[in-house]
Amino acid sequence: MSPPANLLAEYARHTLDDSDRAAVAEALLDERLTTGPRVGAFEAAFATRVGAAHAVACNSGTAALEMIYAALEVPGRPVVVPAITFLATASAALRLGGRLAVADVDPARGHLTPDTLAATLAALPQPAAAVTVVHLGGPPADLPALAEVARRHGTVLVEDACHALGSVETPDGAPVGACTFSRAAAFSFHPAKTITTGEGGMVTSPDPALAEAARRHRNHGMVRAPAPLRADSLATAPWYYEMHSLAGNFRLTDFQAALGLSQLTKLDTFVEKRRRLRDHYLQRLAPLSPRVKPLEPLFEGTIGWHLMGVRVEDFAAGPEARAATMTALKARGIGSQVHYIPLYRQPHLADTLGPAADPARFPGAEAYYARCLSLPLFPDLEEADVDTVCAALEAALG
């Protein structure tokens, strides 16, 4: 099946081939459509690929975050998140009864920084249950420095790695997901991400207890033998199970896992193609500097680029400039997006935060948000498509 004619109409899209479709078709012929052997196989293959001790599959990146937060027992305790991220980074903690604390970010990259984290943690009335670091766009944040700040304040890092599959933690370090500096990482397999299962997610962790708690939260908080049961006399009864915590159904199906296994074999190819396309963007956008600046990683190394993010100085004049540019791009059949509206600007989260939602408290996030734009980036594109996008952007900016 060939890509759609309007390939550039979206900023991101999935890449599937006949081997992916065959893997799903084969799974649909099996007796088990969910909680079967392919889910375990996908978990094992993913853990091997990212160097993780444990991997727990689920039905979305949001579910992965909630499973981690549940394992860290966040109810009633602060959870620190960066101002620039998707809603789920915060909402997954709030749904469990966590107390949201929002930290400012680097205005150039949109990442949590050691300084903004330290200031946020120092202002909390009690130690945070967790600090969630978001690897916005694919490049990792400064994990070693952030982990040291978290350690000094008696808390731990969680990685929202939904954008960062295929990246490494440090220039000479392990893949993101190995959790060298964190207690757990969450991944997404939404169709916009580097590999897809349609909808899906994964938790990775070096901690067997956290992984087991995540599995329990994935399946209604349900416990069966040989795990400890309250009613010991029924522990060997074949029908018996117990609900040990309030949870939900976050299971992944076997045919989704089949697609994930097939896509995982192409991960390196996808990452390399995204890198080459970004390199071509850098060449084509260079004449537009300093008005247009591509977002730069903290270090040079293997980066699984999810977004082709740019900062456009023209947009600082006001939201009308960005709206006009995006409308002009759309008129030429080119999709674009903004990643993201700051959390404290969302009505429900602003109500939750109260006075702490004042935009003046977040100069870095305000500067980043005012200028950011994401251009199309996915493996089905070619360099000629990048040329088309850049020419259209140049025309839109006048």
Q: Report the length, in residues, of the chain.
A: 398
Peptide bond into 290 cis (omega under 30): yes
Of 260, 294, 280, 268, the C-alpha closest to 139 is 294
Q: Which amino acid is at 276?
A: R
Handedness of CA 33, 38, 40, 45 (dihedral sign): negative
- String of DSSP letters for 206-264: S-HHHHHHHHHHHBTTEE-TTS--S-GGGTT-TT--EE-S---B-PPBHHHHHHHHHHH
Task: Collapse the DSSP code of 291 into the 3-class scheme (helix H, G, I; strand E, B; otherwise coil) and give the result.
Answer: coil
Of 300, 299, 57, the C-alpha closest to 201 is 57
Active-site hit among 193, 266, 273, 293: 193
Query: Which token pair is 60?
Result: 């979305």
**Are the beta carbons of 374 and 308 closer than 8 angstroms?**
yes
Q: What is the DSSP letter of 32?
A: -
Using the structure block, give the residue that is written with the tokens 């029908």.
239
Using the structure block, give the residue that is written with the tokens 């889910």.
39
**Are the beta carbons of 337 and 374 closer than 8 angstroms?**
yes
Letter string b/e over residues 62-81, b meaning 16 or more CB atoms within 10 A of that residue's CB: bbbbbbbbbbbebeebbbbb
Letter string b/e over residues 317-342, b meaning 16 or more CB atoms within 10 A of that residue's CB: eeeebbeebbebbeeeebbbbbbbeb
**Are the beta carbons of 188 and 61 closer than 8 angstroms?**
yes
- 330 assigned to active site: no
Give the angle subtended at the CA of 179 by the CAs of 35 and 43, to the nearest 5°: 20
Q: Which residues are catalytic?
A: 193
